[in-house]
Chains A and B, each alone.
Chain A
Amino acid sequence: MLLSMEFDIKAGDFVLAGEASSKIKDALKKLGVKPEILKKVAIISYEAEMNIVIHSVGGVLKAIISKDKIEIIAEDRGPGIENIELAMMEGYSTAPEEIRNLGFGAGMGLPNMKKYSDHFEIESQKGTGTRVYMVVFNK
């Protein structure tokens, strides 16, 4: 059995930001997922959602929950990442000053997503968008 959830994420909307990951967390709590797993999914889904809000022109956040694993997929519609290797480095950020002043965009998003997921894939095309696929095993 699969439970899937999908959320539209608006770019630049810091008021609504975090709502999608909140709903994913709420679902996991209702399903009785173990605290360690919950913690990991909470962080990666929030970071993924924030990345869309900060860096993209909008996108979707998906969660597919099954007995064995939780998949989090973030897809956005551009502008894409020029240098993925660089983007994966801790502290590297392309976020503009005003967003950093809000306490976001410290360049930990992608590294944290990788750190807290059991499986991590990222694809990006300059101009088209970015897709991040993450799995946390529910063991």
Chain B
Amino acid sequence: MPFNLHSIMLDREKCRGCTNCIKKCPTEAIRVRSSKARIIDQRCIDCGECIRTCPYHAKYAVTNSLDDIKKYEYKVALPAPSFYAQFETDDINKLLHALLEIGFDDIFEVAKAAEIVTEFTKEFISKKRDKRPIISSACPAVVRLIQTKFPDLIDNILPLASPMEVAAHLAKKRINRQKGIEIDRIGAFFISPCAAKMTYVNLPLGFERSYVDGVIAIKDIYGLVRSKLKSMNDVEPISISSGKGIGWAASGGESLALGIDEYVNVDGIHNVIKVLEEIENGRLNNIVYFEGLACSGGCVGGPLTVENPYVAKNRIKKWSSKLADKAQILEENTRKIVNDLGIKMEDLLFRKELEANPVLELDSDIEEAMKKYERVNEILKILPGLDCGACGSPTCKTLAEDIVRGLANDTDCIFILRENIKELANKMVELSNKLPPSLERDEE
């Protein structure tokens, strides 16, 4: 699977080769070479952990600029639910109008699409009773994590398009119907909390092509939106999302919207890994739904957001309860969209199977892989087991694997290097004590 279109990049100028990031990367995708971090494309799942951990801010995400929307005749913004949590405002409509003022012609709330996905997820769950637990596919970083580290759980992934994808699809359909504008002249831009969504657009999961044309980082338009908000007074209401959809922004919101009891929700990529391990062991078979989000707190904690995730989570909660009394109207709204646009669950199903990403394999031939596995273990016995990272690999084990894969040398380990030098030094001392035969004195 080509993963070279991922969106996390390194600013070589800023990188000091400190090895902080290599320790935190969940897929061991980073190495330090010649004092600079290097990301192994095929392994990166774009979770953004390295952006968060780099003390020198050398990691960044490549997303679209607001200028990029100008390429399209009609521009529609798809704000992520987490976008709502970034600002202190008494009215969501003001936020949406601010997006219109910064250059968009139209809006389709991803929160609304999330409500639609929730409805179809319920339908899917009731039809597929044998698969337990069903794993949410909303967070692309988690889906890629499963493809990379948990290939045996690919089958459990909910094969439905994510809210962002559904929003883009429906927005284009609606605009085409209402305004007669051709689909390819409409540009749909996701207002995103993360880089994983950008990668999704470059390399969709479950589909050949994404309906999304670009991804704009929340942090890149934050200032602009904020300044527009200030002068915004009473605006015409355009938001049609309910608390359920907006709730998706924070960890647990998706499960809550499903209205089932047997779910587990986990946030933070390393916690997600722990629970996936348990699912693998067959321990969560009584659980119907698993919602795993790569960022701590959920999308409100996305690496491209601005607001403190705890504050943001609280705002999401407030919006959800504030909208509770309108729940019925908003729900009818959902049904109306689904009926008007004639969408069925089948329309949202994956068209392309998710494949395993075999980067952890030592060799594609099992016998060869076994030999390499043994060699890794032999090398491990020699390495000091300190996991110091000085060699540029995150752990001694990874260094051993890198050596076997031909990507590193045992002398990359400073301890082995030191040992070798010591040996060499001893030999030199020994040699220096010896005299050439021409000078050797006769023994009397």
Which A residues fall within an 8 A CB radius of B?
1, 3, 18, 21-22, 25, 27, 29-33, 35-36, 38-39, 42-43, 46-47, 65, 67, 103, 112, 116, 138
Is residue B348 within 8 Å, beta carbon to beta carbon, of the partner chain? no
**Chain B interface size range:** 20 to 34
CB-contact partner of A35 in B152, B360, B364, under 8 A: B152
CB-contact partner of B282 in A29, A30, A42, under 8 A: A42
Q: Using an 8 Å CB-CB cutoff, how does the interface string of B141-185 with A read, 1 for contact, 0 for none?
A: 000000001011011000000000000000000000000000000
| In contact, B366 and A67 (Cβ under 8 angstroms) | yes
Q: Which residue of A lies closest to B373 (CB)?
A: A30
Q: Which residue of A lies closest to B281 (CB)?
A: A46
CB-contact partner of B369 in A25, A32, A35, A38, under 8 A: A32
Q: Chain B contacts of A33 at CB under 8 A?
A: 366
Q: Chain B contacts of A32 at CB under 8 A?
A: 358, 361-364, 366, 369
Q: Write 13 A-B pairs (CB below 8 A) sorted by A numbering.
A: A1-B367, A3-B373, A18-B281, A29-B151, A30-B369, A31-B361, A32-B361, A32-B363, A35-B151, A38-B152, A39-B152, A67-B366, A112-B282
Least Cβ distance of B263 to chain A in Å?
16
Least Cβ distance of B278 to chain A in Å?
8
Is residue B382 within 8 Å, beta carbon to beta carbon, of the partner chain? no
CB-contact partner of B370 in A3, A46, A116, under 8 A: A3
In the docked arrangement, what's the CA distance between A39 and B363, Å? Answer: 20
* Nearest 7 CB-CB pairings of A with B: A32-B361, A46-B281, A39-B152, A43-B282, A35-B152, A38-B152, A35-B151
| In contact, A31 and B366 (Cβ under 8 angstroms) | yes
Known: A3-B373, A35-B154, A35-B356. A42 touches B280 (CB 8 A): yes
| In contact, A42 and B152 (Cβ under 8 angstroms) | yes
In the docked arrangement, what's the CA distance between A65 and B374, Å? Answer: 12
Q: Using an 8 Å CB-CB cutoff, how does the interface string of B328-363 with A read, 1 for contact, 0 for none?
A: 000000000000000000000000000010101111
CB-contact partner of B373 in A27, A38, A46, under 8 A: A27
In the docked arrangement, what's the CA distance between A112 and B282, Å? Answer: 9
Known: A32-B363, A38-B152. A43 touches B370 (CB 8 A): no
| In contact, B370 and A1 (Cβ under 8 angstroms) | yes
Q: Which residue of A lies closest to B397 (CB)?
A: A26
| In contact, B362 and A30 (Cβ under 8 angstroms) | yes
Q: Which residue of A lies closest to B372 (CB)?
A: A30
Q: Chain A contacts of B367 at CB under 8 A?
A: 1, 67
In the docked arrangement, what's the CA distance between A1 and B372, Å? Answer: 12
Known: A3-B374, A39-B280, A47-B282. A29 touches B149 (CB 8 A): yes
Least Cβ distance of B367 to chain A in Å?
6
Could you list 13 further interchain pairs (A-B, Cβ under 8 angstroms) beyond the known A31-B361, A32-B362, A42-B282?
A3-B374, A21-B281, A25-B280, A30-B376, A31-B362, A31-B369, A32-B363, A35-B154, A35-B155, A39-B152, A42-B281, A43-B281, A103-B283
Q: Which residue of B lies closest to A5 (CB)?
A: B377
In the docked arrangement, what's the CA distance between A36 and B155, Å? Answer: 10
Q: Using an 8 Å CB-CB cutoff, how does the interface string of B262-298 with A read, 1 for contact, 0 for none?
A: 0000000000000001001111000000000000000
Centre residue among B151, B155, B277, B281 by max chain A CB count within 10 A:
B281
Is residue B422 within 8 Å, beta carbon to beta carbon, of the partner chain? no
Q: Which residue of B lies closest to A22 (CB)?
A: B277
Is residue B57 within 8 Å, beta carbon to beta carbon, of the partner chain? no
Least Cβ distance of A128 to chain B in Å?
28
In the docked arrangement, what's the CA distance between A21 and B281, Å? Answer: 9
Least Cβ distance of B276 to chain A in Å?
11
Q: Which residue of B lies closest to A27 (CB)?
A: B373
In the docked arrangement, what's the CA distance between A46 and B283, Å? Answer: 9
Q: Which residue of B lies closest to A37 (CB)?
A: B152
Q: Chain A contacts of B370 at CB under 8 A?
A: 1, 3, 31, 65, 67
Least Cβ distance of A135 to chain B in Å?
16
